[in-house]
């Protein structure tokens, strides 16, 4: 057990999830990292936290993870639902199993973890914070990732629902919607000069964001500095959603 408040970050072995964990650790949280990749254990150790392998598309695995964390560390007071996948494909031939897999991790998994974390917070009287990882694709769309876009739109609405349901318990629920962020998911774009130029042509700040820039916003939403913010999705996108033309 620890005297520090506990933050659980899913999908935290690398990229945005790991950056969120780093920012939360610097803010004084005892960080618990979870990911389907076993490299999460080593990543957590470097932050002085604990790492667990968990498939966030598996409801029972999520529930067991919370049981284990509570038995070994205590109750989670900040939850970051970051685990997610895209699985691109052609719209007309998109595989239904792939669709269900994406929704299962990106949306159902977020609901399961949020509900389980909130129950424990209410039971312990913890005025906690939950941050869900949405995307600009909750507002705009790419035809090659139909399930991903649908899931992120769902995350935006689920965030509002949970915020309203939990407000009476002073548990705040918000979301962050990244734009083009320099992570493994964007590696293919980065490696193609034309594709990168096109991506930046719709980003007013003219560059990709960093994972840490997302992590810092997540840490803000988990802190008392955002104590009057709930039910919101903050888009960290370099101005992209406000742009209605392509820049040269």
CA-CA-CA-CA torsion sign (128, 124, 19, 152): negative
The residue from 148, 228, 235, 245 that is catalytic is: 148
Are the C-beta atoms of residues 85 and 17 closer than 8 Å to each other?
Answer: no
What is the full DSSP assignment across 57-75? T-HHHHHHHHHHHHHHT--
Radius of gyration of the chain (CA): 17
Question: How far is residue 32 CA from its own chain's centroid?
Answer: 14
What's the DSSP call for residue 106? I
Active-site annotation holds for 228: no
- The Cα-based distances of 166 to 77, 130, 172 in angstroms read 14, 10, 7
CA atoms of 128 and 60, how far apart (whole Å): 23
Q: Which residues are catalytic?
A: 148
């Amino acid at each position: 057990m620890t005297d520090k408040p506990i933050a659980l970050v899913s999908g935290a072995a690398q990229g945005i999830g790991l950056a969120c964990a780093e920012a939360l650790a610097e803010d004084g949280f005892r960080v618990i990292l979870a990911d389907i990749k076993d490299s999460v254990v080593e990543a957590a150790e470097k932050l002085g936290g604990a790492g667990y392998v968990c498939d966030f598309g598996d409801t029972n695995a999520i529930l067991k993870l919370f049981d284990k964390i509570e038995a070994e560390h205590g109750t989670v007071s900040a939850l970051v639902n970051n685990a997610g996948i895209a699985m691109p494909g052609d719209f007309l031939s998109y595989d239904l199993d792939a669709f269900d897999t994406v929704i299962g991790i990106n949306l159902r998994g977020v609901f399961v973890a949020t509900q389980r974390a909130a129950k424990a917070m209410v039971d312990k009287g913890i005025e906690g914070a939950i941050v869900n990882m949405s995307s600009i694709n909750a507002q705009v769309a790419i035809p090659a990732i139909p399930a991903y876009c649908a899931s992120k739109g769902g995350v935006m609405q689920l965030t509002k629902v949970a915020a309203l349901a939990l407000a009476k318990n002073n548990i705040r629920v918000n979301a962050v919607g990244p734009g083009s962020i320099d992570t493994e998911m964007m590696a293919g774009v980065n490696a193609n000069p034309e594709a990168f130029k096109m991506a930046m042509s719709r980003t007013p700040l003219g560059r990709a964001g960093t994972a840490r820039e997302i992590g810092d916003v997540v840490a803000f939403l988990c802190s008392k500095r955002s104590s009057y913010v709930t039910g919101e999705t903050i888009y960290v996108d370099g101005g992209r959603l406000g742009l209605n033309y392509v820049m040269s």
